[in-house]
Structure 1
């Protein structure tokens, strides 16, 4: 059986097909680093090719399967929250289908992010751009590759004409692998590749360079983004090891909601990112597959963009109509899945912290004890108009239409003029005076200098914790007051009247004691000289 691989990347499709006995006659890819990696690992001599410019008449004859992974950038929610240029992305889908329509293979598949499945379904339903190729498309589905033994919960759309039910039957013979399985084997003297059933001495396994620990600030920022995000679903920090990992992405900065962060294993106080080899194993690549990215970030990019070859092996078996009972798992095949290239890639080192950040580096963090879920929270933020300013803001309402309440001197006076304030004024004045003694030792500019690593002074996270600590003390004291009166006061301060209707008011009412404390502390902070240059 013969195949061609469009938008082939580093060879995730090619390796899986070859392991299943399919001859890949040609692979087409535009990125030179990916082509180099493909050629070095498979001994091929492919050159960079813009798939959009291919003349379909020049393609090989007698092709049984057409496979590939058109670029996902324009469809991914990681690209500006899903605001990519869909029309631009569909040009690659269109070209892929043009190739299929010309070759008319027995089966074909392309893989992409889950969102594309819905886009294709909608296009077919509306008779839009893909209507010309509607007769070709028999399957539009989304799979979770962890169900096929890939140690990663990677959900991807599959579009094509292929035996889906046969593919799905393979899940019953696959074993679940976890993030912890990968970390454990990569730490050993002999690294065992449990996906492909062979081992190598650790000194013969590349890309295991140690990732430096995240510093305290980086760990805090990762935890905040994952555990307290105001809109998106919460994530574990560090990542749980007893299950398949989250999706491996093409970018992995030291501070990112998407970055997978794990315990170091040797240093109990250390959490770190994954190194390239760990990421590659989670992506289903054998431990002797090499990555010729030229830089650390390029290696992460090519690994994250790939389709796991462990999964494409099962796709290739389904394309050849191998029944489940006749299926051999990759780990029981004899020998290595490919020979280690003679020329190994150069060693690349991970980026480390310690560098200075841009002068206008943005900051945003919720105050501890004052984050209530669904976007209701108090935040410390900075802004530049043009001078540096720091302020506490209060947000409430639905996540897609939240509102910001101005925490200013007017709000502070409106609360101070109520009988309820008389019950807490001594505590409030005592705590804010103590806080002012600390904060008056800095300024807006000095706080920004600390945040951009230009000084070692008081940092914004320290301010966040100080404000949160004072708010917590006031909250405890406020709970002694009449709850109904507190609730009415808070609703009036936020909405302008005591009995508003609409989404979010119940959450504010239920948390009115803490919100009152946040309104007071936030408004006080915003009236102090140190919150402005």
Structure 2
């Protein structure tokens, strides 16, 4: 049986909790948030007058009474693996978790729910079970701790989050039959049509197209940005591959609070209005993926600030479901995600337009560069890469080879020794003749690719070779060298010799048994040997016409 529910919203952000609750018929008595742009956005959409408030400093006796539901999303920064590789200050983050439970313990609502990053799940399970942990004193709340994907609950993005609550997910799961499965493509198509109205791709309400805000698009990604994006997603040296551009026929990847025009986390699409060009998402597209209706407005000083507030929000699609469960709406009576048309109006005050980012025109002289060489990237961190070192004071452009597990990454110094050792054996073999030709052509092509000119070109402060042109040239030469190695290794025991040579280089003065990732090095020995030769050649630039005669 449905019943009236009064709620408070802690760590309210821009209103992801409050919106879903109100649409489901819950009365949100009070909301608390400390970040002023989020407060402005919350007030601008909900007509409230909340002021920036530090939840940690709230006096429990000042909280409203008669509360049936307490919800909130304490700051997740310290628990996120995106923060310093997961090295955030957990003790600092714990303070907000404890504060949330102190409020719940004080108000004793019938229902309560907290949202946070997935990592918090195991942290909380351990904390509630440990008598010495600050969370242990709240174990009587008997929390249900689950990690869910919001794309299973009506959102158009794959977003995994920890839900800690006493509202059984089984109640919410009963609504799934009435939920759609919106995709990234559904959102893009709905927001980029040419009609006079826009139909909300998540909630179904209709808004005049002229009233649609936050649709300003960024300039298309330029060549080097496209390359950096594609390499970071499709050919990352360590992490799993992503699609580039992002697939339209499925929920999007997680909408993050921060990303750049070239970061791996950015969602990139082919611009539906400019086929063949690629861009990041607009503020409105990000908001729809997060489940905010198309009339929701975002008050902030910059595009980046709006992107941050949206990326930090909880999708109101899920909060609507949780609120429906708290009100006792039976699965059979649940109508799905929908908005009455009277809710589909614009607020009285619209936010300032905030121009999106543009491609960089100038960069610091010490702009850093690193790119794995195609054909010589073997995943799990093993790769040959061209980089400019620290690039702060004196750029050090060279090819580097990395191998080994993440906790024991090793680098082989390529300084001419490989060429010196192999030029009268492997590289003097007739099969190497075409490879010498390729090296000669590459030497001519890269004649002016010295460190100074490469750095000037990369920092957009001078003419010279595009570093990616160098990367691709090295990749092409390495392919020719590997072809020669394949031919050479087919004779006698040369294949075994190639494997032994790679292992000797990797081991240095140590025994082969001490080399991390030995099996992978052996399995890719021919490609690695080609990379050692080409990297050594590029770094030392020892090529001379006499070498062609030796071949």
Could you say which TM-score interval applies, normalised by the shorter chain? over 0.9
Q: What is the rounded CA distance, in whole Å, between the counterparts of 2:303 and 2:393 in structure 1? A: 36
Q: 2:147 aligns with which of 116, 133, 142?
A: 142
Q: 2:122 aligns with which of 118, 121, 141?
A: 118
2:53 corresponds to 1:46: no
Q: What is the rounded CA distance, in whole Å, between the counterparts of 2:142 and 2:257 in structure 1? A: 28
2:506 corresponds to 1:500: no
2:193 corresponds to 1:181: no
Q: What is the rounded CA distance, in whole Å, between the counterparts of 1:389 and 1:313 in structure 2? A: 55
2:242 corresponds to 1:232: no
2:259 corresponding residue in structure 1: 252
Q: How does 1:165-204 map to 2 (within 5 A)?
A: 165-188=170-193, 189=195, 190-204=197-211
- Please give the secondary structure, in 2, of the residue aligned with 1:81: helix
How far residue 295 of structure 1 moved from its aligned partner, in angstroms, is 1.1
Q: What is the rounded CA distance, in whole Å, between the counterparts of 1:354 and 1:154 in structure 2? A: 30
How far residue 446 of structure 1 moved from its aligned partner, in angstroms, is 1.6
1:379 corresponding residue in structure 2: 385
Q: Which deviates more from structure 2 when the two are superposed, residues 307-316 or residues 161-170?
A: 161-170
1:353 corresponding residue in structure 2: 359
1:137-176, Cα deviation, whole Å (9 max, x unpaired): 4211111111111101111101122122111222232111
2:280 corresponds to 1:273: yes
Q: 1:304 aligns with which of 288, 294, 311?
A: 311
How far residue 417 of structure 1 moved from its aligned partner, in angstroms, is 4.6
Q: Which deviates more from structure 2 when the two are superposed, residues 409-418 or residues 352-361?
A: 409-418
1:323 corresponding residue in structure 2: 330
Q: What is the rounded CA distance, in whole Å, between the counterparts of 2:443 and 2:383 in structure 1? A: 23
CA contact (8 A) 1:354 1:453 kept: no
2:78 corresponding residue in structure 1: 74
2:534 corresponds to 1:521: yes
How far residue 391 of structure 1 moved from its aligned partner, in angstroms, is 1.0
Q: Which deviates more from structure 2 when the two are superposed, residues 69-78 or residues 505-514?
A: 505-514
Over aligned residues, Cα RMSD in angstroms?
Answer: 1.9
Q: What is the rounded CA distance, in whole Å, between the counterparts of 1:246 and 1:385 in structure 2? A: 34
Q: What is the rounded CA distance, in whole Å, between the counterparts of 2:123 and 2:473 in structure 1? A: 47
Q: How does 1:382-397 map to 2 (within 5 A)?
A: 382-383=388-389, 384=391, 386-397=393-404
CA contact (8 A) 1:277 1:287 kept: yes
CA contact (8 A) 2:183 2:250 kept: yes
- Please give the secondary structure, in 2, of the residue aligned with 1:135: helix
Q: What is the rounded CA distance, in whole Å, between the counterparts of 1:413 and 1:44 in structure 2? A: 75
- Please give the secondary structure, in 2, of the residue aligned with 1:290: coil
**CA 1:145 to 1:22, structure 2 compared with 1: closer, same or farther past 3 Å?**
same
How far residue 499 of structure 1 moved from its aligned partner, in angstroms, is 8.4
1:486 corresponding residue in structure 2: 498
Q: What is the rounded CA distance, in whole Å, between the counterparts of 1:431 and 1:343 in structure 2? A: 65
How far residue 424 of structure 1 moved from its aligned partner, in angstroms, is 5.0
How far residue 354 of structure 1 moved from its aligned partner, in angstroms, is 3.4
Q: What is the rounded CA distance, in whole Å, between the counterparts of 1:179 and 1:135 in structure 2? A: 41
2:44 corresponds to 1:31: no
CA contact (8 A) 2:239 2:379 kept: no
Q: 1:412 aligns with which of 419, 422, 438?
A: 419
**CA 1:498 to 1:512, structure 2 compared with 1: closer, same or farther past 3 Å?**
farther
Q: What is the rounded CA distance, in whole Å, between the counterparts of 2:466 and 2:431 in structure 1? A: 29
1:290-316, Cα deviation, whole Å (9 max, x unpaired): 111121111111111111111110010
**CA 1:375 to 1:494, structure 2 compared with 1: closer, same or farther past 3 Å?**
same
Q: What is the rounded CA distance, in whole Å, between the counterparts of 2:471 and 2:145 in structure 1? A: 47
Q: What is the rounded CA distance, in whole Å, between the counterparts of 1:16 and 1:147 in structure 2? A: 16
- Please give the secondary structure, in 1, of the residue aligned with 2:75: coil
Q: Which deviates more from structure 2 when the two are superposed, residues 503-512 or residues 281-290?
A: 503-512
Q: What is the rounded CA distance, in whole Å, between the counterparts of 1:499 and 1:294 in structure 2? A: 59
- Please give the secondary structure, in 1, of the residue aligned with 2:7: strand
CA contact (8 A) 1:489 1:498 kept: no
**CA 1:479 to 1:529, structure 2 compared with 1: closer, same or farther past 3 Å?**
closer
1:59 corresponding residue in structure 2: 63
2:171 corresponds to 1:159: no
Q: What is the rounded CA distance, in whole Å, between the counterparts of 1:199 and 1:101 in structure 2? A: 42
Q: What is the rounded CA distance, in whole Å, between the counterparts of 1:417 and 1:315 in structure 2? A: 73
Q: What is the rounded CA distance, in whole Å, between the counterparts of 1:419 and 1:433 in structure 2? A: 17
CA contact (8 A) 2:405 2:517 kept: yes
Count of aligned pairs: 529
2:405 corresponds to 1:398: yes
How far residue 75 of structure 1 moved from its aligned partner, in angstroms, is 0.8
CA contact (8 A) 2:71 2:112 kept: yes
How far residue 457 of structure 1 moved from its aligned partner, in angstroms, is 2.0
Q: What is the rounded CA distance, in whole Å, between the counterparts of 2:111 and 2:33 in structure 1? A: 21
Q: What is the rounded CA distance, in whole Å, between the counterparts of 2:508 and 2:268 in structure 1? A: 44
Long gaps (5+) in structure 2: 490-494, 544-551
**CA 1:20 to 1:457, structure 2 compared with 1: closer, same or farther past 3 Å?**
same
Long gaps (5+) in structure 1: none
1:434 corresponding residue in structure 2: 441
CA contact (8 A) 2:17 2:71 kept: yes
How far residue 228 of structure 1 moved from its aligned partner, in angstroms, is 1.2
TM-score with structure 2 length normalisation? 0.92
